[in-house]
A and B are shown apart, each in its own frame.
Chain A
Amino acid sequence: AQSVTQLDSHVSVSEGTPVLLRCNYSSSYSPSLFWYVQHPNKGLQLLLKYTSAATLVKGINGFEAEFKKSETSFHLTKPSAHMSDAAEYFCVVTRGGGSNYKLTFGKGTLLTVNP
């Protein structure tokens, strides 16, 4: 069984300040973890993924996430927010190894960036 909890449904930051979007997961197996971003009325775009290699994962647009097994967390960070980062972000967990089809999505965190 697997599940994912995004701890904030809405995060608001000012442009140029750091971003932190929190995600905790639960998995009976060694997990793969992803962060996807969705702009309004668009499909999802992969930001980054953890697949049991380095625990600090760098993604596109300056985002990164750290896999912490002891805390069962995979928080998404960015040092300096840009207006174009305003979107909804989804944390996703699946069983590692590519043999299991199923992704489990969090309910999303809406990021607002204020000028």
Chain B
Amino acid sequence: DGGITQSPKYLFRKEGQNVTLSCEQNLNHDAMYWYRQDPGQGLRLIYYSQIVNDFQKGDIAEGYSVSREKKESFPLTVTSAQKNPTAFYLCASSLQGVRAYNEQFFGPGTRLTVL
């Protein structure tokens, strides 16, 4: 089955610790994205990558870091500099090109709780 996997589903961490969220896709998509979801606020873009070894900040990148060493993988690290990291994190991917119409496919999400 083609799709996007995120792990773990639930993650608990102590305040001040860095934590890395995994995102893998086997859709052969060029672009990948990380979003943060908080109740009543919709989705906000953290980082995105349109090609391997390149990524760009989204609207709320402070306190987060990413890497894109492989086309299939786009891990997100939530650092201790992120002031309010408790949230639901969603990874997505999409084709690039004129016919893609920017449709994004989403993973099942990781719920991060900082204690």
**Cβ-based interface call for A46 (8 A):** yes
| Cβ–Cβ < 8 Å partners of B105 in chain A | 46
> CB-nearest residue of chain B relative to A102?
B45
Tell me if B102 and A42 are in contact (CB < 8 A): no
Q: Any chain A CB within 8 A of the CB of B100?
A: yes
Q: How many residues of A contact B (CB 8 A)?
A: 27
Please give me the residue from chain A that is nearest to B94 by CB atom.
Answer: A101
Neighbouring A residues of B48 by C-beta, 8 Å: 101
Contact B42 A90 (CB under 8 A): yes
Could you tell me the distance between the alpha carbons of A85 and B109 in the complex, rounded to whole angstroms? 20
Decide if A61 is an interface residue (CB 8 Å cutoff). no
B68 surroundings in chain A (CB, below 8 A): none
B45, B90, B98: the one contacting A99 at CB < 8 Å is: B98
- Asked whether B107 lies within 8 Å of A98 as measured between CB atoms, the reply is no
Instruction: Assess whether A51 is in contact with B101, with CB atoms less than 8 Å apart.
Output: yes
Given contacts A41-B109, A98-B96, contact A106 B102 (CB under 8 A): no
Q: Kindly provide the distance from the CB of A88 to the nearest chain B CB, expressed in whole angstroms.
A: 10
B43 close to A (CB within 8 Å): yes
Question: Which of A42, A95, A98 is close to B108, meaning CB atoms less than 8 Å apart?
Answer: A42
- A45-64 vs B: 1/0 string, CB under 8 Å? 11001010000000000000
Number of B interface residues, CB 8 Å? 32
- Least distance between A112 CB and chain B CB atoms (Å): 15
Residue from the list A94, A98, A108 in contact with B42, Cβ < 8 A: A108
Query: Is A75 part of the contact surface with B, judged by Cβ < 8 Å?
Result: no
> Is B112 positioned at the interface, with any CB of A under 8 Å from its CB?
no
B-contacting residues, A70-115, CB 8 Å: 90, 94-103, 105-108
Let me know if A107 and B106 touch, CB within 8 A. Answer: no
> In the bound complex, how far is the Cα of B92 from the Cα of A95, in angstroms?
18
Q: Judging by beta carbons under 8 Å apart, are A107 and B96 in contact?
A: no
Contact yes or no, B109 A43, CB < 8 A: yes
Instruction: Please give the residue numbers on chain A whose beta carbons come within 8 Å of chain B beta carbons, in ascending order.
Output: 9, 32, 34, 36, 41-46, 49, 51, 90, 94-103, 105-108
Q: Besides the contacts A32-B101, A41-B88, A44-B43, what 8 more A-B pairs have beta carbons closer than 8 Å? A: A42-B108, A43-B4, A43-B108, A46-B105, A96-B101, A98-B100, A100-B102, A107-B42
